[in-house]
Amino acid sequence: MADRTISIELMWDVAIPKSLESTQRWILSAMQCHGRELINMLWRILGNEQDVCDAYQDTFLKLAHHQFSSKPDNIKAYVFRSASNSAVSILRRKLIEKNKISSVAENNTSHTSGELNSGLLQESLRTGIARLPDLLRDVITLRDLADLSYEQVGTILGITPATARVYRCKAVQLLSVWLRKETG
């Protein structure tokens, strides 16, 4: 961590322009006076160099733009409060991004498993329909898969439409019992 504060001190030496307005020199003075403590605090909160640099920069930009560049009454308190607020904002933003990514991953996983469940359900239904007695299987196939009316099913199978309804009802009940046993 000492290496990081040394690199910040080198940044200050490079960043000091000779033509800095006298009204803004107090900002540079605040950076030099409180910078090391501020960086240590940001490292403890954020633990990431890029985030520390972002929070540090944001803090001193807020200071530079504080109420039309006026100097706050307590610079140290202002700097540390601004830095902690920036750090918390960064942490919140990262948490929101993490939650979005987790949510998308969960949706994709549940969507995929839903498709798999749908495929398994279709396969179970096909297997169940194949197990039905011949007449019940024919009624289900013609009514539900071929989408024919009860009258058409009755005509094809040589039964009344009412009998086709009863056979379909029995077939659905049998399929329901079999599927419950498989999934339960």
Longest dimension (CA), the chain: 104
Contact 66, 95 (CB under 8 A): no
| Residue 108, CA atoms < 13 Å, CB-side half-sphere | 6
Q: What is the pLDDT of residue 160?
A: 94
DSSP string, 111-125: HHHHHHHHHHHHHHH
Q: What is the pLDDT of residues 123-181, one digit of tens each?
A: 778 788 888 898 998 898 888 877 889 999 898 899 999 999 999 999 999 988 988 88
| Mean pLDDT of the 49-76 span | 79
* Dihedral (CA of 66, 81, 30, 74) sign: positive
The structural domains of the chain, with segments of one domain joined by +, span 2-100, 132-183
Q: What is the pLDDT of residues 77-133, one digit of tens each?
A: 888 888 888 888 888 888 888 877 776 666 655 555 555 467 677 777 878 888 889
Tokens (6 digits) for 136 = 């019940």
Tokens (6 digits) for 30 = 């605040």
Q: What is the pLDDT of residue 162?
A: 95
pTM value > 0.95: no
- 177 alpha-carbon distance from chain centroid: 39
* Helix, strand, coil shares, percent, the chain, to 5: 85, 0, 15
Q: What is the pLDDT of residue 163?
A: 94
- Distance (Å, rounded) from C-alpha 110 to C-alpha 8? 47
Q: What is the pLDDT of residue 178?
A: 86
Q: What is the pLDDT of residues 3-43, one digit of tens each?
A: 555 455 545 454 555 545 556 677 788 788 888 888 888 88
Tokens (6 digits) for 46 = 């954020």
- Give yes or no for residue 183 having a pLDDT over 50: yes
Helix (H/G/I), strand (E/B), else coil: 166: helix
CATH entry, 132-183, from 1.10.10.10, 1.10.3720.10, 3.10.129.10, 3.60.20.10: 1.10.10.10
